Chains A and B, each alone.
Chain A
Amino acid sequence: MSAVVAEHDEHEHHDHGPMKGWLRWIITTNHKDIGTLYLVFSLAMFFVGGAMAMVIRAELFEPGMQFVEPQFFNSMTTMHALVMVFGAVMPAFVGLANWMIPLMIGAPDMALPRMNNMSFWLLVAGVLLLASTLFMEGGAPAGGWTLYPPLVLQTGKALPFAIFSVHLLGVSSIMGAINIIATIFNMRAPAMTLMKMPLFVWTWLITAFLLIAIMPVFAGAVTMLLTDRFFNTSFFDAAGGGDPVLYQHIFWFFGHPEVYVMILPTFGVASTIIPVFARKPLFGYSSMVYATASIAFLSFIVWAHHMFTVGMPIAGELYFMYATMLIAIPTGVKVFNWTATMWKGAMTFETPMLFSISFVVLFTLGGFTGLMMSIAPVDFQYHDTYFIVAHFHYTLVPASIFILMAAGYYWLPKWTGNMYNEKIGQLHFWLSVISVNILFFPQHFLGLAGMPRRIPDYAIQFADWNMISSIGGFIFGLSQLLFLYIVIDTIRGGTGEKVTDEVWEEASKHGLEWTLPSPPPYHTFTTPPVIVPSEHH
């Protein structure tokens, strides 16, 4: 190649550390900076979405109307879900991917650093656009996060803003996912073969594929909402030959894989943490990889289990019922593998491990209720009740969110070079795990007794369990402030004890990131590392 000189200049440039001043954070291309931006943003959104949940639980504390208007209540359920899904959980995992994937595969950075920057800022833009709808005439969208027509078409001025926010979030996710795929396929250190990659990397590779496949589908669905409302099309209007149920099919073709977008990286982190604290290699590494791939594949062919009550032909009901049940198989493989990893391990119970173990137990519970709802005739009873709310909160809060917490405790010492306060960490864990069950377990009973979801008031017989649930909710919400405290405290020095490169006993057997200094330098692996055979096999 001819013009090596220019390249060399650029290179010298690199070896300086980060830029000075706030501008660094806007124009950065560094995967660690961008990872930090994602993580901080998602933590902020976790509290914004959490505040909305507090409004919901406060209103439901007692029967009757207490604090908010019904319309605003419905806006809260809708916005809570959208903010948590698109603002908190997904970006948090993208943040982890940015920070950890290059370190885990021995790459100097993400493959497409400029696009990486853009995908973060589009995320912020999308969430801001969404949040702005709270202040608009007619209120924020209130028809549920699924945005079903015709109800959602009655939204006021907020509708086009919400739709464009979905477009921006979609573009952001697609860019992030493309970047992750390109990084994993193209940036691995020489000896890092695919089947040597840590499971977190594997699960993200598959998740990224899901994202690229489904985000355009959601974008298409909301585009049709837009044209139905503003450009006279009849996609979802039976009078013009369309069908509102068509929207549900498209939405759930996106929506079901979307819930796996939030759970697959969770599986990856759990498979990373549990072996370290069990001091054993992960049990069944390759079966984990295949199980993840099967779950991803199945997630594309089960979507109408969300629509058992819309009046599908009986063949559809049966097909979607059996297909959904199949998911239990690869999911079961994973649960057994995590359990077998711990079997006879020399386990210790630091905070990351506590969160991971409770993930295994409580996620399984959420999976079981999913299996119950997959039985079509039975789901006729469960559908649109609090049973559904209990199901997906078990799969999201004590699963995805708990694992995000575990990841925070596990890697914070690596990121900052400081140790978090283990006592407060464990306090956070115990408060969370107890209150999350007080919060969500009674919702199973409420649902079975027939309490509908997305309703600001309810019949008197639901009063007791709702009050208990709300109390659990408030404790859970408040406990999360401890996490915020710990994160800030750790960044500012933590316990004062300097951590080693390994941080956790023998962690370097489990991942390349533990061979680097804590905190790692701004640029890592500018020369590819030599990979020694790891404990995976």
Chain B
Amino acid sequence: MSSKDSYYIPSKATWPAVGTVGLVILLAGFANHLNGSSIGNPMMIMGFVIFIIMLAGWFSLQAFESESGMYNHQVGISYRLGMMWFIFSEIMFFAVFFGSLWYTRNLSVPWLGGEGTGAATKELLWPAFEATWPTNGPAHVGGEFEPMGAWGLPFLNTLILLSSGVTCTWAHHGLLANNRDQLIKGLIATVTLGVLFVMFQASEYHEAYTEMGLTLGSGIYGSTFFMLTGFHGLHVCIGAIFLMVVLFRSWKGHFKPENHFAFEAAAWYWHFVDVVWLGLFVFVYIM
């Protein structure tokens, strides 16, 4: 059989076991931490370090194998399918929190306020509660707060993420045209915009906590606001790190116009994060 056409199947995998051990220690540590046990933190740190070592080791191995030409076209398709379906699973994860926002805002909060079948609920439980949005519920959980406006930092952040999508695509064009300079410049711009986004979001959170009284504990509004934007922010960080790795590899001369799965995966992920943000901007900030 011509080795060029064969599907590359590694004979062994050591990193998955390492990663599993790291993850279990990390999560068991976190659980212990939440239970107030003092071994929680050291376990978390240890697990996290192992996990990061696994990521570095596994990705280096993949990069090495890719650059050595061990992956044929078919392997590339498997990787792309893997990434696509992974992103689909992430979409479903975000859908849960968008769905919760929709449900509480349009159904359960109005019911609490006496709408539809909720008349008796209101009468018996919290007669004084008026259903409005944003709300921290009939018990005013978390105290007075000011909701987050859309047209300051969040709008700026929208522009930032949208431009980063453009620079990312520009980098891709550079890669396809074998223009390494454009590839690297495009990636630097994308990563910079990503980092800028995270910094602005951090300052937005800071303001929410210190000046607006808006916290994760501010009833259902605070819960949905911080869960949605927080998980999104986390994904921006992951995407930015992913892009940095791709940038670093581009510097080292990796990727060819016809073989650059890691770049594509990072770009897809970045666009996904971008689209989620647009959803957030509309449903969390504007509406």
Q: Are A121 and B137 in contact (CB under 8 A)?
A: no
How many A-B residue pairs have C-beta atoms within 8 angstroms? Tell me: 240
Q: Are A164 and B96 in contact (CB under 8 A)?
A: no
User: How far apart sit A216 and B111, CA to CA, in the bound complex (Å)?
Assistant: 28
Does A70 belong to the interface (CB within 8 Å)? no
Q: Are A231 and B100 in contact (CB under 8 A)?
A: no
User: How far apart sit A220 and B227, CA to CA, in the bound complex (Å)?
Assistant: 10
Q: Are A114 and B13 in contact (CB under 8 A)?
A: yes
Q: Are A186 and B20 in contact (CB under 8 A)?
A: no
Contacts of B201 in A (CB 8 A): none
Select one of A3, A212, A527 contacting B70, CB under 8 A. Answer: A3
Does B282 belong to the interface (CB within 8 Å)? no
Known interface pairs A7-B3, A112-B79, A114-B58; 18 further A-B residue pairs with C-beta atoms within 8 A, sorted by A's residue number:
A4-B4, A6-B68, A29-B10, A29-B11, A114-B10, A117-B13, A118-B16, A121-B20, A157-B35, A164-B30, A168-B27, A220-B97, A234-B136, A234-B217, A235-B224, A238-B125, A240-B139, A241-B109
Does B142 belong to the interface (CB within 8 Å)? yes
Q: Which residue of A lies closest to B97 (CB)?
A: A220
User: How far apart sit A237 and B100, CA to CA, in the bound complex (Å)?
Assistant: 13
Contacts of B139 in A (CB 8 A): 239-240
Q: Are B104 and A250 in contact (CB under 8 A)?
A: no
Does A1 belong to the interface (CB within 8 Å)? yes
Provide 15 A-B residue pairs closer than 8 Å at the C-beta atoms, listed in order of the A residue.
A1-B69, A10-B8, A27-B16, A111-B82, A112-B79, A124-B20, A129-B27, A129-B28, A167-B27, A219-B93, A226-B34, A238-B125, A239-B138, A241-B137, A246-B104
Does B219 belong to the interface (CB within 8 Å)? yes
Does A21 belong to the interface (CB within 8 Å)? no
Residue-wise interface mask of B (58-96) relative to A, using a CB-CB cutoff of 8 A (1 in contact, 0 not): 100000000111101010011101100110111011011
Q: Are A213 and B223 in contact (CB under 8 A)?
A: no
Q: Are B223 and A242 in contact (CB under 8 A)?
A: yes
Q: Are A240 and B70 in contact (CB under 8 A)?
A: no
Q: Which residue of B lies closest to A122 (CB)?
A: B20
Which of B1, B104, B116, B215 has most A Cβ within 10 Å? B104
Instruction: Given A29-B10, A216-B96, verify A249-B103 contact (CB < 8 Å).
Output: yes
Interface positions, chain A 148-188, Cβ under 8 Å from B, are 157, 160-161, 163-164, 167-168, 174, 177-179, 181-183, 185-187
Q: How many Å from the CB of A303 to the closest CB on chain B?
A: 12
Q: Are A526 and B216 in contact (CB under 8 A)?
A: no
User: How far apart sit A212 and B89, CA to CA, in the bound complex (Å)?
Assistant: 5
Q: Are A527 and B1 in contact (CB under 8 A)?
A: yes
Q: Are B104 and A13 in contact (CB under 8 A)?
A: no
Contacts of B223 in A (CB 8 A): 227, 233-235, 240, 242
Does A58 belong to the interface (CB within 8 Å)? no
Instruction: Given A129-B27, A161-B31, A215-B89, verify A113-B137 contact (CB < 8 Å).
Output: no
Interface positions, chain B 1-37, Cβ under 8 Å from A, are 1, 3-4, 6-17, 19-20, 23-24, 27-28, 30-31, 34-35
Q: Are A235 and B220 in contact (CB under 8 A)?
A: yes
Q: Are B17 and A182 in contact (CB under 8 A)?
A: no
Q: Are A13 and B11 in contact (CB under 8 A)?
A: yes
Q: Are A109 and B9 in contact (CB under 8 A)?
A: yes
Does A533 belong to the interface (CB within 8 Å)? no
Q: How many Å from the CB of B253 to the closest CB on chain A?
A: 13
Interface positions, chain B 130-173, Cβ under 8 Å from A, are 135-139, 141-142
Contacts of B13 in A (CB 8 A): 27-29, 113-114, 117-118
User: How far apart sit A237 and B31, CA to CA, in the bound complex (Å)?
Assistant: 22
Contacts of A160 in B (CB 8 A): 30-31, 34-35
Interface positions, chain A 183-221, Cβ under 8 Å from B, are 183, 185-187, 212-217, 219-221
Q: Which residue of A lies closest to B108 (CB)?
A: A243
Does A11 belong to the interface (CB within 8 Å)? yes
Q: Are A112 and B222 in contact (CB under 8 A)?
A: no
Does B242 belong to the interface (CB within 8 Å)? no
Q: How many Å from the CB of B195 to the closest CB on chain A?
A: 26
Q: Which 10 pairs across A and B sit closest by C-beta, in order of nearness?
A: A220-B96, A241-B137, A232-B217, A118-B16, A241-B220, A240-B141, A243-B108, A160-B31, A239-B139, A233-B223
Contacts of B104 in A (CB 8 A): 235, 241-243, 246
Q: Are B216 and A29 in contact (CB under 8 A)?
A: no
Q: How many Å from the CB of B98 to the closest CB on chain A?
A: 10
User: How far apart sit A234 and B101, CA to CA, in the bound complex (Å)?
Assistant: 12
User: How far apart sit A182 and B6, CA to CA, in the bound complex (Å)?
Assistant: 17
Q: How many Å from the CB of A290 to the closest CB on chain B?
A: 22
Does A8 belong to the interface (CB within 8 Å)? yes
Contacts of A250 in B (CB 8 A): 96, 99-100
Q: Are B81 and A111 in contact (CB under 8 A)?
A: yes
Contacts of B6 in A (CB 8 A): 7, 11, 526
Q: Are B12 and A240 in contact (CB under 8 A)?
A: no
Does B255 belong to the interface (CB within 8 Å)? no
User: How far apart sit A249 and B11, CA to CA, in the bound complex (Å)?
Assistant: 44
Q: How many Å from the CB of A315 to the closest CB on chain B?
A: 10
Q: Which residue of A lies closest to B221 (CB)?
A: A241
Does A26 belong to the interface (CB within 8 Å)? yes
Contacts of B90 in A (CB 8 A): 216
Q: Are A227 and B227 in contact (CB under 8 A)?
A: yes
Q: Are A6 and B92 in contact (CB under 8 A)?
A: no
Does B112 belong to the interface (CB within 8 Å)? yes
Q: Are A313 and B116 in contact (CB under 8 A)?
A: yes
Q: Which residue of A lies closest to B20 (CB)?
A: A121
Residue-wise interface mask of A (1-20) relative to B, using a CB-CB cutoff of 8 A (1 in contact, 0 not): 11110111011011000010
Contacts of B210 in A (CB 8 A): none
Contacts of B9 in A (CB 8 A): 14, 29, 108-109, 113
